[in-house]
Amino acid sequence: MSSEKSAGKWMFILAWVCGLGLMTLIFGDVLEGQRNPNQEPESVRVDGQTEVRLKQNRQGHYVTNGTINGQQVTFLIDTGATNVAVPASMQNELGLQAGRSGLAQTANGVVRVAQTTIDSLTIGDIELNNVQAHLNPGLGEGQILLGMSVLRQLEFTQREDWLILRTLY
């Protein structure tokens, strides 16, 4: 009888652990969807131009998935950034070459960055080539700021909680 109670107790604990693990997965996806509601940005053709609509997240930011040199990344749209800012720790993963170094004024103060060029950057069906960027050692892993070196090549409009990116050609 005691071994049946022990087995039942372990089955109960195992069920709770499985349930907690499942809830963690489910709520993790929900939270990621709130942080980045544009995980698969959709593109449409309007008047011969490619358009991507990005939904604002709960914090009021525009976050979207895209690619750099064919590698999946997550961008935070930052109109205050002159160039795309890539964490220096992602340089090899994204196939970027460090060029001339210099100082850059960031929200966290002055930091030494290395210039680089992104061969190919995509958001949805929008693709840009030879994009100026900086490798910034002060950015955390995966925190890529999409700055004006991309946005000045696009028409962008904010309407309510949507940011509309449109090619100029």
| pTM summary value | 0.78
- DSSP-assigned states of every residue in 18-48: HHHHHHHHHHHHHHHHHH-TBSS--EEEETT
CATH superfamily of 43-167: Acid Proteases (2.40.70.10)
Angle at 9 between CA 8 and CA 13, to 5 degrees: 115
* 116-168 pLDDT tens trace: 999 999 999 999 999 999 999 989 888 899 999 999 999 999 999 999 999 98
